[in-house]
Amino acid sequence: MRASRQKAAESRERILDVAARLFREKGFGGAGLEVIMQGAGLTHGGFYGHFQSKEQLAAEAVARALQRSGERQSRFTSIGELVADYLTQRHCEDRANGCALAALGADIARQSDEVRRAPTLYLRQRIDQIAALVRGEPAKQRQQAIATLAGLVGALTLARAVDDPALAAEVLEAAREVFSKPDPALN
Amino acid sequence: MRASRQKAAESRERILDVAARLFREKGFGGAGLEVIMQGAGLTHGGFYGHFQSKEQLAAEAVARALQRSGERQSRFTSIGELVADYLTQRHCEDRANGCALAALGADIARQSDEVRRAPTLYLRQRIDQIAALVRGEPAKQRQQAIATLAGLVGALTLARAVDDPALAAEVLEAAREVFSKPDPALN
DNA sequence: TGTACATCAGTGAACGCGCGTTCACTGATGTAC
DNA sequence: TGTACATCAGTGAACGCGCGTTCACTGATGTAC
């Protein structure tokens, strides 16, 4: 039954990837260890050979999801591109593979500091990135970056919370329009 | 043991109020019926005399929380006032009594249509209200209203998700600054 | 108004279930000679 | 290189616990005469 160290390391990676998806899709409470381990092709008894607790898994899974988002977003060299990539109907529908801040925002706020560490780091990086893409004096750049990020996460949250596809689409489109050109007065 | 119809109606109200608070504070999964009923001064066996299921309670509790928010927000006659009232540190810390969209946003997206009905109605009303407070042509008014609402909910979500009070405060302040005067180009 | 009975709001124990966690065990992997 | 043993990744059953839900019961309220 013992697997090689190589295989064990791969198992850990698979658990993290599956957890990162399932937590975003179903929430921390909605995704059980049984299902996560099954998704990784293992039985649930082996979980504690890889992680100390579900909470530790949550922290690492959130970190992983946000790292992937960060890699994707850091490629963009204009706000328009970044916004257009974030506020798509596809992203709105595909919680499992999308932004963890939008998929778990309220849940993260209720978790331990351990889980909230990665979101903090991620937000700092996004602020710095977007601030560099905006014109204006530095303090205003940061303000615009923060407001834009809030707008993106909020728009996705609202579009998903709403029980009417047309309204959801309108929310995405309006936010795309407004946040693609932050603070036109400065341009 | 039987209570009068008057008392029973009051009990139902108390259950709803307690649930509206506890769901926002701990999430739908984190607040159990036992604790909710206890908070209403009852034993948990009596719950099903008032509601068909926990899900029905969730739907009504969310509706109640949003109705209260709507009453509060509909008083404002300028965006600046509304934004200043929403993006306070107090609101950020007091999830239990604040905006249900920010406190439960991601959770609501995972709930049934029944639960999502009230948020949809609430959002429509807020859009109409804020659109009326913005200058510009009607289509742009709606866009601005939606973007502002997204920014408010997103800023609160980010501020709460973050594990650094200074960063949280900065998020609130930046969003207050930017969203108090939406689209300065139009003013 | 007073009495007798039906109703039903609330009680408290019990239910089945899924959860996170633990543990004895298995057998392939890794190590020491 | 080959052998013997220790390690440990993964298995599968079991654990205690809290949850949503059900139910028989209680006794004050509401109703009918």
The structure tokens listed for A156 are 């996705």
Which residues between 3 and 32 in chain A have a beta carbon less than 8 angstroms from any beta carbon of chain B?
26-27, 29-30
User: Do the Cβ atoms of A182 and B151 come closer than 8 Å?
Assistant: no
The structure tokens listed for A53 are 């607790």
The predicted structure's pLDDT at residue A4: 84
Specify whether the backbone of B42 is left (phi greater than 0), alpha (psi in -120 to 50) or beta. beta
Cut 0.85: pTM above it: yes
Q: Which nucleotide is nearest to B51 (CA to C1')?
A: D21
Distance to chain A for B7, nearest Cα, Å: 34
Between the alpha carbon of residue B104 and those of residues A109, B52, B115, the distances in Å are 10, 22, 11
Residue B127: pLDDT band (50, 70, 90) is very high
Q: Flag whether pLDDT at B187 surpasses 50.
A: no
Each residue's pLDDT, cut to its tens digit, for chain A (187 residues) gives: 789 899 999 999 999 999 999 999 999 999 999 999 999 999 999 999 999 999 999 999 999 999 999 999 999 999 999 999 999 999 999 999 999 999 999 999 999 999 999 999 999 999 999 999 999 998 999 999 999 999 999 999 999 999 999 999 999 999 999 999 865 544 3
Which residues between 69 and 108 in chain B have a beta carbon less than 8 angstroms from any beta carbon of chain A?
95, 101-108
SS (H, E, C) chain B: CCCCHHHHHHHHHHHHHHHHHHHHHHHHHHCCHHHHHHHCCCCHHHHHHCCCCHHHHHHHHHHHHHHHHHHHHCCCCCHHHHHHHHCCHHHHHCHHHCCHHHHHHHHHHCCCHHHHHHHHHHHHHHHHHHHCCCCCCHHHHHHHHHHHHHHHHHHHHHHHHCCCHHHHHHHHHHHHHHHHCCCHHHC
**Sequence-distant (≥ 6) Cβ neighbours of residue B48 within 8 angstroms:** none
Q: Flag whether pLDDT at B36 surpasses 50.
A: yes
Calculate the average pLDDT of chain A: 95
Q: Give B37 CA → D25 C1' in Å.
A: 20
Residue found by looking up tokens 């719950």 in the block: B47
